[in-house]
């Protein structure tokens, strides 16, 4: 196993068929043949054909409503499996035209399903609330849908007439075009150069190895990598700006026609999250930005630099000889998650053994990492593993998502099996904090301790401070759009550079290249998504400390929280485990822990 891992870690990016099967996710467990996938697409069409029969009178009595709700679940569950498979295939190799066609078909089917089911919410809202409550009280099967139905009623002011909802649903397919073209441009069409590194070895620059190469010791080489990478983005700056501007206009259109005050209100309303949570996040970071500046100053001292360039940001404070082969990463992962108990560990072990993870980069593969899956399938994890400590953290993070999904799918009916992103990032980041705690305890050498402490500080910089900067940038763009400002490439670059200057302070050189970084961030297409990384990180920091200190009792509550899925609003579920995100206390606690570790690093 270790030999395979070492063979794969070459400077050359391999075609997918050269990656050993044990390092590829078990996508055949979804569909063994494409024909099976096509058959399920036909099944969805057949189920959709039943809707015109049951639609006309579905609100006349409890049983008629129940028939439609169950049919909705059957269609949606099957579609989820279809879409997951197509998306995974596309991400395996974005250059494969067959996989692109599968994804296009799945996206079209998704839009058709959303249109076909769009009558449900207006229909439910046409009922008198007292009638709906009576049906819920008297029919045990409808009672399962109580939270779902009451949430529809909460959205009454933002749900349109049946015909209008159908028109909105029809727009779903082309509404995805901006993100889809962004992905094609970024992962299929960008052509990064090949060049020689400081040792004379050939390097193929890619999304997957970019930050790894920026950790190299040779500063001129880092600068070369950095400039070549962003040069490719700069050549497409107007296209990226047009895509992002179009996506933001789309979000404004939807929030406007649904009678929301703005896109932020619309995005947070879904999970019943007060808008002040977003404002508290940015304000609290602004009030404590000196901590990040202090950390940057310490990095300058360690690296013997007057100021950091952005290509210095990922360089280790001291020379790191730490490598984590994938087998070693699995061992560290299991050891670090022991505080979560045997049941949790058994699920992680199951995932490692049953090929949930697509481990290594290959030609055409989507960069980064994520967790996915469908209701009755295994969870799946996309990785681009490079043998670094960062990759171990990413693996822990994605297993947090996957175990959360696994437990929610096991405990909840389909209607509540999805997990709110606001909650999902808590589960993933809790794993990261537990990993940090484990590494700090088990790395006794002074240099290893520096590496471990700094890694957590870097996680804090990238997962908290940087995501808040992204969140502020996103807010700024939406405000500009609302005020009629054209979101040109020059405008985006200018504003992004200004934010970097504020967040990183006077000890970092804000160059022309970093002003283009917005173009490589896919999350800007997700409508106020990234702030949840920061809130999740802060909540997880507090929660992890409680798990370690309180032990079994806290773990039991935590596992119940994971099993709850979306059966209630995020704040309700969080309050059950002692966290209240409506006040900034949890942010201040997280920042105090950052300060403590910063002081510890200064003492070493």
448-480 pLDDT tens trace: 788 888 888 998 999 999 999 999 999 999 999
Specify the pTM.
0.81
Angle at 367 between CA 361 and CA 372, to 5 degrees: 95
User: Which residue has better confidence, 206 or 1?
Assistant: 206
pLDDT band at 3 (very low <50, low <70, confident <90, very high): very low
Distance CA 111, CA 216 (A): 45
pLDDT digits (tens, 9 = 90+) for 548-571: 989 999 999 999 999 999 999 999
The topology (CATH level 3) of 187-320+460-604 is 1.10.1370
- The residues near 263 (Cβ < 8 Å, ≥ 6 apart) are 248, 251, 252, 255, 478, 527, 528
Mean pLDDT of 90-95: 96
Say if residue 2's pLDDT is above 60: no
Angle at 451 between CA 448 and CA 454, to 5 degrees: 145
Distance CA 453, CA 384 (A): 24
Distance CA 18, CA 436 (A): 34
Say if residue 447's pLDDT is above 90: no
Q: Which two tokens stand for residue 174?
A: 């082309």
Distance CA 225, CA 206 (A): 10
Distance CA 533, CA 150 (A): 28
Say if residue 159's pLDDT is above 90: no
Mean pLDDT of 182-188: 94
pLDDT at 11: 54
Mean pLDDT of 530-559: 93
pLDDT at 455: 86
pLDDT digits (tens, 9 = 90+) for 21-46: 999 999 999 999 999 999 999 999 99
Distance CA 170, CA 105 (A): 15
Say if residue 527's pLDDT is above 80: yes
CA-based end-to-end distance of the chain: 37
pLDDT at 500: 99
The segment(s) of the chain belonging to CATH 1.10.1370.20 are: 187-320+460-604
Mean pLDDT of 424-443: 90
Mean pLDDT of 519-543: 94
pLDDT digits (tens, 9 = 90+) for 42-71: 999 999 999 999 999 999 999 999 999 999
Sequential DSSP letters for 357-400: EE-S--TTPPPS-EEEE-TTSPEEEE----SSHHHHHHHHHHHH
Q: How much is the mean pLDDT over the chain?
A: 94
pLDDT band at 545 (very low <50, low <70, confident <90, very high): confident
pLDDT at 449: 82
pLDDT band at 4 (very low <50, low <70, confident <90, very high): very low
Say if residue 243's pLDDT is above 80: yes
- Strands 202-204 and 194-196, bridge-based pairing: antiparallel
Considering the domain 28-175, what is its CATH architecture?
Up-down Bundle (1.20)
Distances (CA, A) of 303 to 312, 316, 389: 9, 9, 20
398 in active site: yes
Q: Which two tokens stand for residue 578?
A: 């002692």
Say if residue 173's pLDDT is above 90: no
Mean pLDDT of 400-424: 95
pLDDT at 370: 96
pLDDT at 10: 45
pLDDT at 389: 84
Q: Which of 92, 165, 398, 472 is the catalytic position?
A: 398
pLDDT at 429: 87
pLDDT at 148: 97
Angle at 1 between CA 26 and CA 197, to 5 degrees: 95
pLDDT digits (tens, 9 = 90+) for 244-259: 999 999 999 999 999 9
Say if residue 294's pLDDT is above 80: yes
The segment(s) of the chain belonging to CATH 1.20.140.70 are: 28-175
% of the chain with per-residue pLDDT over 70: 98
Span of 169-183, 281-295, 354-368 with lowest mean pLDDT:
169-183
Strand partners of residue 380: 372
pLDDT at 189: 93
Q: What number of other Cβ atoms are within 10 A of residue 603's Cβ?
A: 5
pLDDT at 7: 41
Mean pLDDT of 425-436: 91
Mean pLDDT of 185-200: 91
């Amino acid at each position: 196993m270790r030999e395979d891992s070492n063979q794969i870690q070459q400077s050359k990016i391999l075609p997918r068929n050269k990656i050993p099967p044990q390092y590829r996710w078990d996508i055949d467990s979804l569909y063994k043949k494409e024909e099976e996938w096509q058959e399920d697409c036909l099944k969805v069409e057949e189920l959709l054909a039943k809707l015109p029969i049951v639609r006309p009178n579905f609100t006349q009595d409890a049983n008629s409503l129940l028939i439609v709700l169950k049919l909705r679940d059957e269609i949606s569950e099957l579609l989820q499996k279809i879409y997951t498979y197509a998306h995974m295939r596309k991400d395996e190799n974005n250059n494969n035209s067959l996989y692109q066609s599968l994804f296009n078909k799945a996206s079209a089917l998704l839009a058709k399903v959303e249109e076909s089911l769009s009558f449900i919410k207006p229909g439910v809202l046409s009922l008198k609330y007292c009638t709906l409550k009576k049906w819920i009280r008297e029919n045990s099967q409808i009672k399962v849908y109580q939270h779902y139905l009451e949430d529809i009623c909460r959205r009454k002011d933002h749900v349109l007439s049946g015909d209008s909802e159908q028109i909105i649903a029809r727009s779903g397919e082309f509404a995805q075009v901006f993100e889809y073209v962004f992905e094609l441009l970024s992962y299929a069409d960008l052509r990064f150069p090949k060049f020689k590194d400081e040792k004379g070895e050939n390097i193929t620059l890619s999304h997957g190895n970019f930050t790894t190469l920026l950790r190299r010791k040779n500063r001129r080489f880092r600068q070369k990598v950095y400039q070549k990478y962003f040069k490719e983005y700069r050549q497409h700056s107007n296209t990226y700006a047009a895509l992002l501007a179009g996506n933001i206009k789309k979000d404004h259109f939807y929030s406007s026609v649904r009678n929301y005050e703005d896109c932020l209100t619309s995005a947070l309303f879904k999970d019943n999250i007060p808008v002040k949570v977003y404002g508290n996040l940015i304000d609290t970071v602004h009030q404590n930005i000196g901590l990040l500046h202090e950390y940057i100053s310490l990095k300058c001292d360690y690296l013997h630099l007057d100021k950091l360039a952005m290509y210095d940001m990922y360089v280790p404070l001291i020379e790191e000889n730490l490598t984590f082969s994938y087998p070693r990463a699995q061992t560290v992962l299991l050891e670090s998650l022991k505080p979560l108990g045997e049941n949790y560990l058994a699920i992680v072990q199951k995932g490692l053994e049953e090929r949930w993870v697509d481990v290594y980069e290959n030609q055409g593969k989507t960069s980064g990492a994520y967790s996915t899956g469908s209701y009755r399938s295994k969870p799946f994890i996309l990785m681009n593993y490079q043998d670094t400590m960062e990759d171990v953290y990413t693996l822990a993070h994605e297993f947090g998502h996957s175990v959360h999904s696994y437990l929610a799918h096991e405990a909840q009916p389909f209607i509540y099996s999805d997990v709110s992103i606001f909650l999902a990032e808590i589960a993933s980041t809790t794993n990261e904090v537990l990993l940090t705690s484990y590494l700090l305890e088990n790395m006794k050498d002074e240099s290893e301790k520096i590496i471990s402490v700094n890694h957590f500080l870097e996680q804090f910089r990238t997962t908290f401070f940087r995501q808040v900067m992204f969140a502020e940038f996103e807010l700024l763009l939406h405000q500009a759009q609302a005020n009629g400002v054209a979101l040109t490439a020059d405008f985006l670059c200018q504003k992004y550079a200004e934010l970097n200057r504020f967040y990183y302070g006077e000890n970092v050189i804000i160059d022309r290249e970093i002003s283009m970084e917005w173009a490589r961030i896919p999350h800007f297409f997700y409508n106020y998504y990234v702030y949840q990384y920061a809130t999740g990180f802060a909540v997880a920091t507090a929660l992890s400390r409680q798990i370690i200190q309180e032990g079994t009792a806290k773990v039991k509550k935590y596992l119940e929280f994971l099993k709850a899925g979306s059966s209630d609003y995020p704040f309700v579920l969080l309050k059950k485990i002692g966290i209240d995100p409506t006040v900034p206390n949890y942010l201040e606690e997280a920042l105090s822990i950052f300060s403590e570790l910063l002081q510890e690093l200064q003492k070493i």
